[in-house]
A = this chain, B = another copy of it.
Amino acid sequence: MKSALKSRIVSAVEGDLEQIEAALSNNLTPNLSLVKDIAGHLLFSGGKRLRPLLFLLSSRLCDYPDDLAVRFSTLFEYLHAATLLHDDVVDRADMRRGKQTAHATWGSPRVVLTGDFLLARSLTLAAETKLPRIIKVIANITEEMSQGEIDQLEKKGKLDLTEAEYMAVIQGKTAVLIEGACKSGAIIAQAAGEKEAALCDYGHHLGVAFQMADDLLDYTADARTLGKNPGADIREGKLTLPLIHALAQADEGDRRWMEKVISDKEFNESDFDGIVEKLHLYGGIDYTESRARDHVEQAKKSLEIFDDCESKNIMMLLADYAIARNV
């Protein structure tokens, strides 16, 4: 079922993805080959291009001509890649998408600066739109993301993280950029305010659902599918919704045991299996799935004001895919 959904989406957007791919390469014009290497390592390592695609689909839903939109769409992938590069440095993660991270290969200094370069690249493209409101969205995304990351850093290892705090973290970490891509699609097409608001809502709920699904994968996927080590979030001291919910529901003995495992960064595989068991026992997995499904439904509902069309269809499928994907 999952893979059927994926094939339907892929065949519907194949042409768009090819154009986005070409534009990503054409618009990346650093003077230094090293920057191209580092940026390319991440940019061309099999990302889903979700953000440019959402910008493109949103702009199309508001009747903006495609030829310009493709070029501008790349700014959201550059921005995404910039934040991933800085996150790698911040998290000191060694693996991402199954590959060694850039900072493990090139060292933090080069990676920080390449992130800055990609941020600047996305800014240059934003300036080309000649729409100050787009620039404002991009600036806001960057502000919120940097503050969100610091917020997450400060909360590392916090065992009594609340669901509200978790929601604030994933808003800054994921939702703000996806929301910004959809919103910008409406702005560039100079769509009516209600369409812009609807696309904002869609992007917000989609982003939240995507991140919740991603956080579930850390407990449910095997390492090969995930391209990282399962349990990486706990090891990094990041409490996500499945665990937050289970901790809140657990009896005292189980809660203490779970807190001990989380605090002990050297826990072994059977400890991790034990944690996963508790997540099921106390409904952490089910609860997160159900919250993610709610957000998918809200995302789809946001699109009601648009007439039926191919772009809307794809965006509805993408919302379903947010929680159905296994990669």
Q: Which residues of A contact B (CB under 8 A)?
A: 30-32, 34-35, 86, 89-91, 108-110, 112-114, 116-117, 119-121, 123-124, 126-133, 135-136, 138-140, 142-143, 145-147, 149-151, 153-154
On chain B, the residues within 8 Å of A30 by CB distance are 147
- Inter-subunit contact A113/B35 (CB<8 Å): no
- Inter-subunit contact B135/A123 (CB<8 Å): yes
Q: How far in angstroms is the closest Cβ of chain B from A171?
A: 12
On chain B, the residues within 8 Å of A150 by CB distance are 32, 34-35, 110, 113-114, 117
- Inter-subunit contact B149/A113 (CB<8 Å): yes
| A interface majority secondary structure | helix
Of A129, A135, A147, A151, most B-chain CB atoms within 10 Å: A135
On chain B, the residues within 8 Å of A131 by CB distance are 132
Q: How many copies does the complex hold?
A: 2
Of A112, A128, A131, A153, most B-chain CB atoms within 10 Å: A112
- Inter-subunit contact A116/B146 (CB<8 Å): yes
On chain B, the residues within 8 Å of A126 by CB distance are 135, 139
Tell me the bound Cα distance from A89 to B89 in angstroms: 11
Q: List 25 A-B contacts (CB under 8 A).
A: A31-B147, A35-B146, A86-B113, A89-B108, A90-B109, A91-B109, A109-B153, A110-B153, A113-B153, A114-B146, A116-B119, A116-B142, A117-B142, A117-B143, A117-B146, A117-B150, A119-B119, A120-B146, A123-B123, A123-B139, A127-B136, A129-B132, A130-B132, A131-B132, A132-B135
Tell me the bound Cα distance from A263 to B131 in angstroms: 51
On chain B, the residues within 8 Å of A35 by CB distance are 146-147, 150
On chain B, the residues within 8 Å of A136 by CB distance are 124, 127-128
